[in-house]
Amino acid sequence: MTLFKSREAILFAAILALLVLIATRFPGFVAPRNLLGVFADTAPLMILALGQMVVILTRCIDLSVAANLALTGMVCAMLNTAMPGLPIVVTLVLAVAMGAALGAINGLLVWKLAIPSIVVTLGTMTIFRGSIFLLSGGEWINAFEMSPAFTGFPRILIAGLPVLGWIAILVIAALALLLSRTTTGRAFFAVGGNPHAAVYTGIDVGRTQFLAFTLSGALAGLTGYLWVARYAVAYTDIAGGFELDVVAACVIGGISIAGGIGSVGGAVLGALFLGVIKNALPVAGVSPFWQMAISGAAIIVAVAANSRADRKKGRIILKFAEVRQ
């Protein structure tokens, strides 16, 4: 019974129920090949949601992840047009490094100037978007301007799954190890759970939040290259509004906005839930613009559910206190 009370189990069951419902009208949607495609389509959202999860665990939020993705992706595309022979490994390293640097800017502003993270990332989101226009002059970079190796890498199939999907799996495994097996991972939870107590245990709250933003930025930078290469186009409004989906995936997955509570599995399942909806809407003949409304509604429902669960826990603690008296 305890298993089915967990957010992850309920969310997994909801995804299965959604797939069964879709399969009753569109059996081809649940074909293994199509489901692998859905997973690959959702991979960018999963990677970004994992980075956002780490930030939220520390009682912060990063609204600049999509803008970071867009700026890094544009720089990678421009670099490829200038040096088409540049090895993909080098492009990947540069994308991660640039994303991490942009994330570190957020972290430093939150750490050293004590500015609320929502204010900082709203500002940097605008700066990053404006920088894309300044760099590109508002012009698009299309598929014919990119090298085949640049656009082909995320699409390479390994055991039926594109490299994009395998990278998401590697990121999931790495984050799971980081959060469960390292002192830094435990510090993320401690800072979000009780920052005052964390200080007494020797944890530097500001530095931990800085590391969270840097990690989130690095994953956004990685996703920037993968996004541009997979869709073979770079423009000023890449992934516009995608930060809403990222936050929605985290909240739906049970990551508490108050910090200190969350899991890798929850973030991944939250992203998959939105990914299934996103891919099912066109099949069902529903306008994809409804996805934004669904994401917003899902955030409200999930936050309400989290708040109610927290209140119940509080009442239980009070009852135990009354019994002891």
Contact 63, 118 (CB under 8 A): yes
Burial (CB < 10 A; 0-12, 13-18, 19+), residue 220, is: buried
* DSSP one-letter string for 43-83: HHHHHHHHHHHHHHHTT---TTHHHHHHHHHHHHHHHHHH-
Token readout for 112 is 């050293």
Residues paired with residue 141 on neighbouring β-strands, in sequence order = 234
What is the Cα 261 distance to its own chain's centre?
16
Q: Among all chains, which residue has been given the structure tokens 């544009």?
A: 74
In this prediction, residue 88 carries a pLDDT of 96
- Would you say residue 179 lies in a domain? yes
**Domain membership of residue 305 as a residue range:** 6-22+31-324
- Would you say residue 320 lies in a domain? yes
Buried b vs exposed e over 20-46: b needs ≥16 C-beta within 10 Å?
eebeeeeeebeeeeeebbbbbbbbbbb
pLDDT tens digits, one per residue of 54-104: 999 999 999 999 999 999 999 999 999 999 999 999 999 999 999 999 999
From residue 260, alpha-carbon distances to 49, 139, 219, 257 in Å are 16, 42, 20, 9
Contact 92, 243 (CB under 8 A): no
- Would you say residue 160 lies in a domain? yes
Token readout for 2 is 């305890």
Burial (CB < 10 A; 0-12, 13-18, 19+), residue 161, is: middle
- Would you say residue 113 lies in a domain? yes
- Would you say residue 140 lies in a domain? yes
In this prediction, residue 311 carries a pLDDT of 52
- Would you say residue 180 lies in a domain? yes
From residue 45, alpha-carbon distances to 61, 244, 278 in Å are 16, 11, 11
In this prediction, residue 200 carries a pLDDT of 87
With vertex at residue 94, the alpha carbon angle to CA 92 and CA 100, rounded to the nearest 5 degrees, is: 105
- Would you say residue 183 lies in a domain? yes
In this prediction, residue 79 carries a pLDDT of 95
- Would you say residue 1 lies in a domain? no
Contact 61, 117 (CB under 8 A): yes
| Helix axis angle, 205-231 to 65-82, nearest 10° | 50
- What's the DSSP call for residue 141? B
3-state DSSP assignment of residue 104? helix
Q: What is the pTM of this model?
A: 0.90
Low-confidence stretches of the chain (pLDDT beneath 50): 1-4, 312-325
The CATH number for 93's domain is 1.10.3470
Token readout for 224 is 């920037």
Q: How many domains would you assign to the chain?
A: 1
